[in-house]
């Protein structure tokens, strides 16, 4: 039993599986950059920046983005190397399978549900808030009990309190994204490119126009004095805010899940990962500086901070544009996150660790449609029934775990297979992956030392326990690697089928 738990998948086998993929290779380098930007620029700017500044960091939210960006810089370089060596869907799950063994790969794949599935639900809740506000501008009012999760208290204008039933906008938003992903990745990528162009333009306009309305007094004190509670302002607040907004950087990692659909993954994956990370980190810093310079940080604990900032300077017309940009921007984030989750499940099913319908590909669309529909329904229900505050920390936890595994994987492969051809090599070895591990540890400390740390730890223990039950009841018995790749009863055969590259 122990020998199977630590069974590793060879690099050569992973590379061969990448060539046997049924998925169409339609994504070029700029498609991958756009995919990353489409996921990174979203909830971090349009939703979480305001609440993190108001409750934890104040104007020093800029430093929180810098800290989170540093962690991503370390791990982004590690991701680029692994994605060039192992150009298949699966992300950190695949990397763990190649370096640490099957049980670690399963745990990593299970944790990625937090990073992608719950992240998509989190973004959908923020998207719902902007949609409700946007429709209200046109006198279209959705009953408040249908815009909040079950049981959430809602205070009406007359002071009475009702409770939420279901967040219908969030539910329908995820279902629409799911339908688009079933149709095809190439079509989804074209929609994503259009949305990314719009929301980057909106973000740049906010930075440029807002700069002329910045009041430097709002930046003083830059790091508000700690309230006496760990994580509420002061340097502990800066670290706490960094751990909260960290999930907003998941987009560059989501690029690695598209490796099986990249035209030239060895060259295009590093370009997509590093390019999207650099562009978005600079935009994040610019937005957070303008946001806290225009509005006092204490007034930013709202679901639509950028719209509030524009209203504060009296540009009603621009507030309308911001809301449109936020709705479209968050739409693309939902698309990329749901996409990433389906590709991870697809790869796990190919390995036999999940039921075979998860890797069944549609004969016309060449997408894992059963997998996509299943993921879409679960994510939609989580978005409709769960408060955004419960989701945020869990998403960051899954993301940090994935980043740490990637740093360890790079160190392991450099040690055990130094002769391996690496189209992209992480510079300054071993200090870059070591720096990534130390940075991840710092963010985890900020998370577990906070007031909600005990609740996060309990959930994490329960979540991992459920994952072990699923693995030992199904994955352990059906592992293709452990059974010499022989088809098991009820399994689908792998299809060796290479598609000609498609032009976008």
- pLDDT at residue 90 greater than cutoff 70: no
For the stretch 456-476, pLDDT in tens is 778 888 888 999 999 999 999
| Percent of the chain with pLDDT strictly greater than 70 | 88
- pLDDT of the residue at 503: 31
Give the dihedral of Cα atoms 348, 78, 53, 217; nearest 10 deg: -160
- pLDDT at residue 434 greater than cutoff 90: yes
- DSSP codes, 230-241: TTSSHHHHHHHH
- pLDDT of the residue at 98: 85
- pLDDT of the residue at 218: 93
Closest by CA to 342, choosing from 137, 148, 109, is: 109
Domains of the chain: 27-152+166-478 (1.20.1740.10)
The answer to whether the beta carbons of residues 447 and 397 sit under 8 Å apart is yes
110: region left, alpha or beta (phi > 0 left; psi from -120 to 50 alpha): alpha
**What does the mean pLDDT of the chain come to?**
81
Query: To 10 degrees, what angle do helices 185-211 and 168-183 make?
Result: 130
Residues of 392-428 as b/e, b for ≥16 C-beta within 10 angstroms?
bbbbbbbbbbbbbbbbbbbbbbbeeeeeeebbbebee
For the stretch 24-59, pLDDT in tens is 667 788 888 887 887 778 766 777 788 889 989 999
- pLDDT of the residue at 390: 62
162 in helix, strand or coil? Answer: strand
What confidence tier does 178 reach under pLDDT thresholds 50, 70, 90? very high
- pLDDT at residue 348 greater than cutoff 60: yes
Helix (H) or strand (E) holding 102: helix 102-112
For the stretch 359-401, pLDDT in tens is 888 888 878 899 999 999 999 998 888 776 666 677 777 778 8
Q: DSSP class of residue 493? A: P
- pLDDT at residue 260 greater than cutoff 80: no
> What is the pLDDT averaged over residues 154-163?
81
> What is the pLDDT averaged over residues 58-63?
92
More confident: 337 or 449? 337
Beta bridge partners, 27, equal 262
- Tokens at 357, concatenated: 């319908």
More confident: 244 or 414? 414
- Residue 305 preceded by cis peptide, ω within 30: no
- pLDDT of the residue at 500: 32
The answer to whether the beta carbons of residues 407 and 440 sit under 8 Å apart is yes
- Tokens at 367, concatenated: 């997408």
For the stretch 107-153, pLDDT in tens is 888 888 877 888 888 888 888 888 888 888 888 989 988 988 888 78
- pLDDT of the residue at 216: 93
Residue with tokens 């930007």: 37
- pLDDT at residue 250 greater than cutoff 90: no
Q: Is 243 exposed, middle or buried (0-12, 13-18, 19+ CB in 10 A)?
A: buried
In whole angstroms, what is the distance from residue 49 CA to residue 32 CA? 25
């Amino acid at each position: 039993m122990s020998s199977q738990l630590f069974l590793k998948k060879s690099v050569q086998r992973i590379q061969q599986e990448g060539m046997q993929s049924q998925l169409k290779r339609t994504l070029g380098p700029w498609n991958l950059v756009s995919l990353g930007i489409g996921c990174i620029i979203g909830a971090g700017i349009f939703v979480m920046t305001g609440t993190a500044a108001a409750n934890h960091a104040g104007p020093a939210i800029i430093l929180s983005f810098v800290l989170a960006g540093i962690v991503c810089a370390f791990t982004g370089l590690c991701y680029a190397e692994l994605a060039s060596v192992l150009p298949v869907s699966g992300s950190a799950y695949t990397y763990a399978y190649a370096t640490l063994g099957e049980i670690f790969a399963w745990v990593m794949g299970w944790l990625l549900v937090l990073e992608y599935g719950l992240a998509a639900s989190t973004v959908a809740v923020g998207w719902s808030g902007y949609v409700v506000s946007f429709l209200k501008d046109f006198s279209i009012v959705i009953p408040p009990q249908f815009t909040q999760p079950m049981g959430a208290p809602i205070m009406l204008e007359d002071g009475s309190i009702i409770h939420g039933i279901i967040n219908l906008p969030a539910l329908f938003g995820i279902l629409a994204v799911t339908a688009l992903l079933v149709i095809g990745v190439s079509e989804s990528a074209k929609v994503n490119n259009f949305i990314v162009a719009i929301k980057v333009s909106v973000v740049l306009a906010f930075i440029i126009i807002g700069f002329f309305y910045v009041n430097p007094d709002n930046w003083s004190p830059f790091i508000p004095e700690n309230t006496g509670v760990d994580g509420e302002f002061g340097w502990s607040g800066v670290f706490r805010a960094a751990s909260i907004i960290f999930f907003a950087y998941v987009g560059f990692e989501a690029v690695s899940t598209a490796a099986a659909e990249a035209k030239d993954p060895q060259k295009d994956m590093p370009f997509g990962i590093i390019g999207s990370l650099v562009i978005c980190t600079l935009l994040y810093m610019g937005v957070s500086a303008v946001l806290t310079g225009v509005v006092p940080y204490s007034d930013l604990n709202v679901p639509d901070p950028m719209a509030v900032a524009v209203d504060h300077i009296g540009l009603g017309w621009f507030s309308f544009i911001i809301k449109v940009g936020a709705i479209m921007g968050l739409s693309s984030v939902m698309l990329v996150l749901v996409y990433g989750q389906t590709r991870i499940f697809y790869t796990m099913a190919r390995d036999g660790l999940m039921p075979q319908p998860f890797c069944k590909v549609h004969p016309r669309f060449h997408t894992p449609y059963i997998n996509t529909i299943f993921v879409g329904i679960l994510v939609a229900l989580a978005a409709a029934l769960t408060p955004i505050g419960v989701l945020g920390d869990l998403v960051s936890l899954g993301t940090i775990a994935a980043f740490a595994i990637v740093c360890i994987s790079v160190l392991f492969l450099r040690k055990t297979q130094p002769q391996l051809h690496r189209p992209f090599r992480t510079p300054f070895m071993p200090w870059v992956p070591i720096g990534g591990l130390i940075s991840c540890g710092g963010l985890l400390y900020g998370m577990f030392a906070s007031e909600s740390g005990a609740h996060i730890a309990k959930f994490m223990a329960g979540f991992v326990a459920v994952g072990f039950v699923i693995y030992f009841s199904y994955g352990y018995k059906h592992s293709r690697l452990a059974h010499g790749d022989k088809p098991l009863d009820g399994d689908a055969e792998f299809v060796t089928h290479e598609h000609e590259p498609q032009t976008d």
